Amino acid sequence: MTAAPLPNATILGYPRIGRRRELKRAVESFWAGRITETELTETASQLRAATRARLVELGLPAAGGAVPESFSFYDQVLDATLALGAIPERFDASGSDLDTYFTLARGNAEHQPLEMTKWFDTNYHYSVPEIDERTPFAANPAQLVTQVAEAAAQGIESRPVLVGPVTYLLLAKAADGAPAGFDPIDRLDEVTAVYAELLEALAAAGATWVQLDEPALVSDSLRTSRDETLALVERAYGVLGSAAAGTARPRILLTAPYGDASRALVRLGALPVEAVQTDLVRGTLPAAALADGSLAQAFAGTQLVAGVIDGRNIWRTDLRAAFATLRALAEAGIDVAVGTSNSLQHVPHDVADEQQLDALLKSWLAFADQKVEQVALLARGLSEGAAAIEAELAEVDRVLADRDEAPGVHVPAIRDRATAAGEADRNRAAEADRRSAQRGLNIPQLATTTIGSFPQTGEIRKARSAFVKGEIDEAAYEGFLREEIERVIRLQEEIGLDVLVHGEAERNDMVQYFAELLDGFAVTEHGWVQSYGSRATRPSILWGDVSRPAPMTVRWSAFAQSLTDRPVKGMLTGPVTILAWSFVRDDQPLGETASQVALALRDEIADLVDAGITIVQVDEPALRELLPLDRERQAEYLDWSVGSFRLATGGAAPEVQIHTHLCYSEFGEIIDAVDGLDADVTSIEAARSRMDVVAPLGDHGYSRGIGPGVYDIHSPRVPGVDEQTELIRIAAARIPGEQLWVNPDCGLKTRGYDETVASLTNLVLAAKAVRAGA
C-alpha cells in the first residue's frame, strides 16, 4: 500500500467551459473589452469553485487529492507553456500573464498565433509550443498555486493537473530559425528541472498530489517510438520522483490516457511515483504480467488508477464488466483506485439537463456527472464488496439489454444495402477522364474559393432561434434564409471569387444539421464540448442505423446556383467527420456505421447533381483525427475511412467535380490515404504552419487539385496581400499551377464580416498577383 494513497475514486479532469458555457462568454467579453481582466478571473474562480463542489457532491472525496484542478482559460498545453515561461522570442511578453497567454493563442496585428493541431485522436485542438535552443524556461506556478489555495478555502484538498514534460516537448515544434536537426525533446533535462521547481512550489502551497499527463506513452504517431518515449519518461520521472514526497514535491499521479499503455505498464509501475493511471477502455492490462505476478510486483508501493470509465463517449458503461476488471486487479494484490480513461473534458456536463431527448435513449447515456457517479459507485463496490452495489449493476444490465433490442437500433433494409455495396460502388471514372470532362466548368488556374460557411451573424442566430421557438413561421424563416444566401452570393461576386458557396446560413453546425435530418441520430440542447479556446460544439448522438428520409441540402444549393453564372459548390459533411464529431454507437464496428452514413450522402449527391450542381464538396476535416494511436490498427482504419468517402462519392459522373476539405493534421502520415480519397480537389489547412504540408504533397507526386489554405480563420487577424501572396508562391514552388487552388484554411462561420471581407479581398488580389507573375 502507498503512504497516504489517493482515495479509491477519482477522475482525470472535468468539463471546464461551464454548464452553460459561462467561460466562453466571459473570455469573449474580455477579448471584446466589455469586461476587465479582474472580472474575467473572478468568473473563472467562481466556475472552478462550482466544479469542485459539484465533484464532491457527486461522490469524490473532498480530502486526499481526488478532485482534479483541470481548469483552463483556453488550452492545457498553452497552460504548460505559461507555467514553464516558454514564451517564443517573437512574442512581446511585457503585459500581464493573461495578456501574453491570449496573444500566444490568438495572435494580434503584429504576431501570428501559435499553430494549432489536434490533441491525439480527439476533436480537441491544442496550441503547439515553439521551442528552440534559446527558448527560456523559468517556473511560473502562479495559476497552479492560486487554484490550490482556492480549493483549500473550500475545504477541498485538490490535485493540480499539468501536461507532463515528455508529452509537452514531443508535442512541441522546432521554432523557425532553430538549428538543423534540433528537436525540442533535446531540452528535456532543462525542462524537467523546471517541472521540479513547479512541484516544489506546489508542495509549499499545500498540494499533496499533482497529476502529470503523459499521453505520449500511448502514441505511435510522434517523433519517437513508444520504447524511446518510455525511456524518456523513465529519465524525467527518475528525476522528478527522487525528491521525498510531501516535502520537496507533492505525490505524483502519472497518467497514460487515450490509448493502450499495457506494454509499458510494468516499467511505469517501477517508477519513483506514487500512482500510475492507465486507460482500460482503449487499452488493456498486460495479461501475462497480471497472471505471473510481475505486474503486482512492479506496483508494490505504487497505486494503479484503473481507467475503466470511458471519458470519450457518452454511453453507460457496462459496470459489471468494469467491476470484474477492478476485482481482478485487487485480488492480484494491487492497490487499485477507480478512474476515468482520460479527462472528461470531451463529454458534456449532465444528461439530466437534456429535457427534449427521448426517455429511452436518455436512459442509455452517461455525461460527465453520471460518469463521476459511476466511478464513485465502483469505488464503493471495492470498499464494501460486490453485494453493496449489486442492485445498481443489475439495473445497468437491464438498460444495456433494452438498448440492444430497441426499435431503430437494427434496421435490416439499411444493413442489407450497406452489405451489398461493393468495390464498383467505390470507384469513379479514371482521373484523366474526369479532368477532361470537367474542363467544361471553365475554372481558371489558381482558382479562388472558400471552404463553405460564411459568418453566422447575430441576425442569423436570432432568426433561427425565433423559428425554433415558434415566433416566426416557416415561410418567414425561409424568406430570411433566401435573402441571406443571395447577399452572400452577391458579396462573393463583388470580391471576385471564382467558385462560390451559398454560405450555410441554414446550418447550426456542420454535423448537427445533418444529424437532425437523418434517421438514427438525436441532438442535445446543452451537450456542449470544447473544441478549442472559447469554441464549443454540440456533438450529435448516433444511436441507431442511419438512413436519409428526404433530401437535406438540395433546395438551398439549387437556389444559390440560380442566382449566378459562376459555379456554386454543394456542401456536405463526409461520413468520417460525421462519426468523429458525434457520439457514435459503440455496439458495432465504426466502419459499418460509416458505410450507412456514406450511402445516405451518396443519395444526396445524386439529388444535388440532378438539381444542376456540378461541384460537390464532401468535407472530411476529421480524417486524420480518428487515425488510431496504435500503428497496428491504422491500416484497418484507413481502409474503411477512405472506403466510406469513396462510397459516398463513387456515384458521381466524370463531369461532376468532387472536392473535399481536410484540416489540422500531420498529413505526411496519411498522404497515401488523402490520395486514396480520389477527390478532384482537396483543400487543406496550411496557413499557420506556413505551408508545411506542401513538401509531402510534392514529394508524393500528388496529381489532382490542391488548395493549401492561405488565410488562417482561427485568428481575428486580417492577412495582407503580401502575406497571402508569399504563401501562394511557396505552394506554387512545389505544386503545378494547374493543380493549385487558393482558399482559406477552413470555413468562416466563427469570423465577423469586416475581417472576412478584408481577408478574402486580399486573397483574391494575391491570387491575381501570382497569376500575373507580379
- Catalytic site residues? 714
Torsion sign across C-alpha atoms 509, 511, 514, 515: negative
Q: What are phi and psi of 350, to 5 degrees?
A: -155, 120
CA 95 to chain CA centroid, nearest Å: 30
Q: How many CA atoms lie within 13 A of 428 on its CB side?
A: 27
Grid coordinates representing 200 are: 516544489
What is the DSSP-derived secondary structure letter of residue 568? B
**In sequence order, what are the residues at sequence separation of 6 or more whose Cβ sits closer than 8 angstroms to the Cβ of residue 561?**
567, 568, 611, 612, 613
Strands 125-127 and 116-118: antiparallel
What is the amino acid identity at position 581? Answer: W
**In sequence order, what are the residues at sequence separation of 6 or more whose Cβ sits closer than 8 angstroms to the Cβ of residue 250?**
65, 160, 199, 202, 203, 207, 208, 209, 210
Grid coordinates representing 21 are: 458555457
Residue 748, classed as helix, strand or coil, is: coil
Three-class HEC string of 338-404 = EEECCCHHHCCCCHHHCCCCCHHHHHCECCHHHHHHHHHHHHHHHHHCHHHHHHHHHHHHHHHHHHH
Q: Is 549 exposed, middle or buried (0-12, 13-18, 19+ CB in 10 A)?
A: exposed
DSSP count for the chain of H helices, then E strands? 28, 23
Contact of 250 with 199, CB cutoff 8 Å: yes
- Tell me the β-bridge partners of 161: 211
DSSP codes joined into one string, 501-512: --B-TT-S-TTH
DSSP3 helix / strand / coil % (the chain, rounded to 5) = 45, 15, 40
Residue 727, classed as helix, strand or coil, is: helix
The span from the CA of 108 to the CA of 115, in Å, is 14
Nearest to 51 by CA among 372, 310, 308: 372
**In sequence order, what are the residues at sequence separation of 6 or more whose Cβ sits closer than 8 angstroms to the Cβ of residue 125?**
75, 116, 117, 118, 119, 531, 532, 533, 664
Torsion sign across C-alpha atoms 225, 230, 235, 239: positive
